Structure 1
Amino acid sequence: MNENLTARVGLSQEFACSYLPNRREQLLVILDPTYYCSEKFESLLAVGFRRSGNQIYRPHCPVCSACNSVRVLAQEFMPSKSQKRKLNKAKTQFTVTYSTSERAGYYPLYSKYITMRHQDGSMYPPQPEQFQSFLFCSWLEITFIELWHQDTLVGVAVTDCMDNAISAIYTFFDPDFEHYSLGSIMILEQLKFAKAQNKQFVYLGYQIDECTKMKYKTQFLPAQKQLNDEWVAI
């Protein structure tokens, strides 16, 4: 942990890794309540931590270091030709809105997404309590970036907002529209939002090179990956 951050931490029990088979996962958890605020959380993001619900954590696995934080340089980002095509295609079908509070339609959309796309994951079957405890936070401002098809909500990107950065917590969308590459579209919208708000970084969570599902995170450039507590260009 960075020498400038002197927070009290705890170590979780080991449990099965959610991403790599036959691996065990362990988490370093922030116990110091003074770090549960926007300013100090942003400092923790810079040393590889992340939020799940109200809890701040980072992987601290005994024999594995596959998880590496990734952040995109928001002010320098320019969409690739492929990303521009996706945006142009989406522009004809969807509109984007922003909210700082939950809408009634969020959980039904989340439930459909988990049920149709992630039956093999730890979040299946979806439950309202799990949805609330995973995505929402009592001590940090959250922006919900919404994608609408006419009057129907089809995508939500749960986005943490700090002074100099945003953090992409989770995106869920209607699988009936997945041919529009909504996962990528929502990251592009988060980057657009960050640039408009003059934020320096968009944190995309952890990149695991061995996990195929994670490779999309390196498609948004320029970006940096944290290796051995140093940020290096991807």
Structure 2
Amino acid sequence: MNHLLKECALSEQCSYLPGLEQTTHYKIIEKCSIEYNELLIERGWRRFGNMFFRPMCTGCSACESIKIDVNGYVFSKSEKRVIKKNAHLKTLIRRPSASQSHIALFEKYHEFMHNKRGWEQQPINIKNYYMSFVNGFNEYGYEVLYFDGDKLIAVDLIDILPNGVSSIYFYYDPDYQHLSLGKYSMLRQIIYAKTNHLEWIYMGYYVKECRSLAYKGDYKPYLTLDGSPKEGDEPLWYEKV
């Protein structure tokens, strides 16, 4: 377990803020254990496939790792309405998979986001989808599938860890915007965590000035990670006042 295949740092154009450069630290880990996954996530890393990464940008702290305090979370009236209006959807949680239905939905969503927010479009096929979202799921990776009747309309990729749920990626059918599926999937994660006595929802990076990530600040109370602690250091999470 925890066989480190490669570790490196790469500099590239910032994914979140225009005109900036970002430096990202990568670890490629084969058969990462659930304990090591949680150790890394608690220190601000994210997982795609068997790749873990986190930004390490000199002089910039725009990317903040945040986690929702599940025990302190109270659903608002509007959130309860979102849950109610999606009560007709069928939900299936299982190990991650790759199919033509996944690819078609993924492409439809990203074409929509390209037109709406200028997201860069990159070709996707079953092989690279598998490498990003299926490979490396080990004992903790799952996909939550949402269906309207027999039609797949959303996919939520998560890790279920001993103390919380780590959100990896979510995509949906733009024809169902009226259902607020992104919000619904996050609320379902919180419900799952409450039901199973898990403390945290790890949301990844909150960037206030990035439209695609700013929504994460709406889920309060949440805690913010102080800096980029090393693996041997105790992570300090604090609640912003």
Q: TM-score range by the shorter chain?
A: 0.7 to 0.9
SS of the counterpart of 2:213? helix
2:233 equivalent to 1:233:
no
The percentage of counterpart residues that share the same residue type is: 27
Indicate the residue corresponding to 1:20 in structure 2. Answer: 17
The gaps in structure 1 that reach 5 residues or longer are 1-6
Residues 1:54 and 2:54 aligned together: no
RMSD: 2.3
Equivalent residue letter for 2:127: E
Letter of the 2:142 counterpart: T
Counterpart AA for 1:211: C
**Which position in structure 2 is the counterpart of 1:224?**
223
Relative distance call for 1:52 and 1:138 in structure 2 (3 A) is closer
Q: Which residue of 2 aligns with 1:64?
A: 60
Task: Report the equivalent of 2:198.
Answer: 199
Moved more, 209-218 or 99-108: 99-108
1:99 to 83, 94, 102: 94
Alignment of 1:131 onto 2:149: no
Normalising by the residue count of structure 1, what TM-score does the alignment of the two structures yield? 0.87
Aligned equivalents of 1:98, 1:180: Cα separation in 2 = 20
> Which letter does structure 1 place at the counterpart of 2:131?
S
State the aligned residue count.
226
Q: Name the CA shift for 1:100/1:32 in 2 (closer, same or farther; >3 Å).
A: closer
Q: CA contact under 8 A between 1:145 and 1:190: conserved in structure 2?
A: no
* 1:55-86 deviations in Å (ceiling 9; x for gaps): 11110113322111111122332211221121
1:103-182 aligned within 5 A: 104=99, 105-118=101-114, 120-138=118-136, 140=138, 141-182=140-181
Which consecutive unaligned segments of at least 5 residues does structure 2 have?
Answer: 229-235
**Pair 1:156–1:33, CA change in 2 (3 A):** closer
Q: Which residue of 1 aligns with 2:231?
A: none
- Pair 8,228 (structure 1): closer, same or farther in 2 beyond 3 Å: farther
Kept after mapping to 1: 8 A contact 2:207/2:214: yes
1:42 aligns with 2:41: no
The TM-score normalised by the length of structure 2 is 0.84
How far does residue 181 in structure 1 lie from its aligned partner after superposition? 0.9
1:43: Cα distance to partner? 1.0
Q: After the TM superposition, which of the residue ranges 156-165 and 99-108 deviates more from structure 2?
A: 99-108
